[in-house]
Structure 1
Amino acid sequence: MSTRIKELWQRWQKDFWRLFRFGITGTVCSLIHYGVYCLCLLFTNTTIAYTAGYGVGLLCNYGLTTYFTFKGKPSKRNVAGFVGSHVLNYLLEIGLLQLFLWLGVSKWLSPVLVMVIVVPINFVLLRLVFVKRKR
């Protein structure tokens, strides 16, 4: 096997397992986010409930993303990048949530649809933050 093919294969394997770990992280944090959302929805409106769930999920997500998904350590750079990517992510999620609610989708199902759309986008944003480019 040529050196170039071997490098590509190793990179693919590394990316595959990173994506797999991201799936686990995303599932765990999404379940926490959705659980907090459902609990808060019992006594507040959808936007506040979603924001509360997002905040709790965000804390969980940073820890798991840093240590488990990308096998790194906390740093000023990745905290700033993580928060920045999640500000964009949150705005996209709230916008989609409101769109689904406006379209008549149930307040219980809307967040699930939002997460299905936004999780892949979030992976790409976080990969830019946590993966160092070779220069």
Structure 2
Amino acid sequence: MAQRIKELWQHWQKDFWRLFRFGITGTLCSLIHYGIYCLCLLFTNTTIAYTAGYGVGLLCNYGLTTYFTFKGKPTKNNVAGFVGSHILNYLLEIGLLHLFLWMGINKWLSPILVMVIVVPINFVLLRLVFVKGKK
């Protein structure tokens, strides 16, 4: 019984710190994504601006997620899983962005609302790629 409690505690600690590192990674990459979006929005439409920000954020996100959040190394499997999860993530984000714009929420606030909703979903998808993929 004591051994099982110890194992559960260690597992919880590992997940807590992984989630904490994901928060740092997600915040930094979201700021980069939003910054690029705002810059591009000055001379293009919201879809192109959001896509450009997403692309730059994606590159940053892969490096930080691999090395910092999940303390791993790039592999064919995690690259494929990362890209696959981010295709789903992008479609969800661009859909929510346009939904918020359609609802009348302004183009500067909409991406922030999108990220608040989608970041937790992205963590679950990436956890499947980086943690379940190791087993």
TM-score relative to the length of structure 2: 0.97
1:100-128 alpha-carbon deviations (Å, 9 max, x no partner): 00000010000000000000000000000
Question: Where do 5+ consecutive residues of structure 2 fail to align?
Answer: none
1:54-103 alpha-carbon deviations (Å, 9 max, x no partner): 00000000000000000000000000000000000000000000000000
- Flag the 1:107–1:134 CA change in 2: closer, same or farther, 3 A: closer
1:131 aligned residue: 131
Once residues 77 and 134 of structure 1 are traced to their aligned partners in structure 2, the CA distance between those partners, rounded to angstroms, is 10
Once residues 83 and 19 of structure 1 are traced to their aligned partners in structure 2, the CA distance between those partners, rounded to angstroms, is 20
Once residues 132 and 8 of structure 2 are traced to their aligned partners in structure 1, the CA distance between those partners, rounded to angstroms, is 17
Count of residue correspondences: 135
Q: Structure 1: which amino acid aligns with 2:108?
A: W
Q: Report the identity percentage.
A: 89
RMSD across aligned positions (CA): 1.2
1:89 aligned residue: 89
- Flag the 1:81–1:123 CA change in 2: closer, same or farther, 3 A: same
The runs of at least 4 aligned residues of structure 1 exceeding 3 Å deviation read 132-135
Q: Structure 2: which amino acid aligns with 1:131?
A: V
Once residues 133 and 45 of structure 1 are traced to their aligned partners in structure 2, the CA distance between those partners, rounded to angstroms, is 38
Once residues 126 and 44 of structure 1 are traced to their aligned partners in structure 2, the CA distance between those partners, rounded to angstroms, is 31
1:100 aligned residue: 100
Asked whether 1:16 is paired with 2:13, we answer no
2:113 aligned residue: 113
Q: Structure 2: which amino acid aligns with 1:86?
A: H
TM-score relative to the length of structure 1: 0.97
